A = this chain, B = another copy of it.
Amino acid sequence: MTTMNQYDTPQSWRLPEPTLRRLPWYLAFVKLLKSRGETYVSSTQIAKEINVDSSQVAKDLSFVNISGKTRVGYEVVTLIAVLEDFLGFTVQHRAFLFGVGSLGAALLQDSGLKQYGLEIVAGFDVREDLAGGTLINDIPVYHISEFPDRQKALDATIGVITVPVDQAQSVTDHIIAGGIRALWNFTPFRIRVPESVVVQNTSMYAHLAVMFNRLNLINHRK
């Protein structure tokens, strides 16, 4: 369960999405400073590195429960700890992955997600040959019909959706009915959910489309 932890402070509740998307950039940079032996960082320094306005950095960090010192700025070690905690990376959020195809299997293999608070504890697929707990990266894969039982046992909060487009909505409905409360949608399909369910879309193919288009533009400028 993710209900009780330190970052449940009122000011974190309505955090603007752009801020939430920038904070991990700051975190990565400050971790880099730490590995270089730095002990303090200023918001000006972060701003310069990330290429964001320094007043924006200060504003973003005002949501986080940390105060800097005049002239020297924030303590690097403290800022890392506070940001990781604030962003939810220090608590493991239990997740199931649905659709163990090419992308789904790839994500099961990415152990790095655990460092950011996402623990995928099981995968599900419609393929019969995957039933019975095939292991991928030590994560068992079950037939989708086993989802209700596994959900009873493991109480996963998050569903990672990597099914084909034509199954995206039906799988979504099925797992929400079974108690999944947040969806990380990797399909290029716009799934519909009740208002109480969280959705984050990671549209890798949309990013490719933007990249290809910009690349073309540059080729033509030459």
Contacts and interface: CB of A to CB of B under 8 A. Distances in A.
Interface of A: 2-3, 7-8, 12-15, 17, 20-25, 27-29, 31-32, 35, 49-51, 87-89, 91, 93, 101-103, 105-107, 109-113, 116-118, 157-158, 165-166, 181-182, 184, 187-190, 192, 196, 198, 200-220
B212 A31 contact: no
9 A-B pairs with least C-beta separation: A88-B212, A106-B106, A28-B188, A87-B209, A198-B214, A106-B110, A200-B211, A21-B206, A102-B112
B20 A166 contact: no
B88 A209 contact: yes
A165 B25 CA distance: 10
A207 B200 contact: yes
A198 B220 contact: no
Contacts of A215: 2, 93, 157-158, 181-182, 198
A188 B3 CA distance: 26
Contacts of A112: 101-103
Nearest to A3: B219
A211 B184 contact: yes
Most chain B C-beta atoms within 10 Å of own C-beta, residue among A182, A201, A211: A211
17 contacts: A2-B212, A2-B215, A8-B216, A14-B217, A25-B188, A28-B190, A31-B165, A87-B212, A89-B205, A91-B212, A106-B110, A113-B208, A118-B208, A157-B215, A158-B211, A198-B215, A198-B218
A17 B202 contact: no
A204 B112 CA distance: 11
Given A12-B216, A25-B189, A202-B204, A166 B32 contact: yes
Nearest to A12: B213
B20 A209 contact: yes
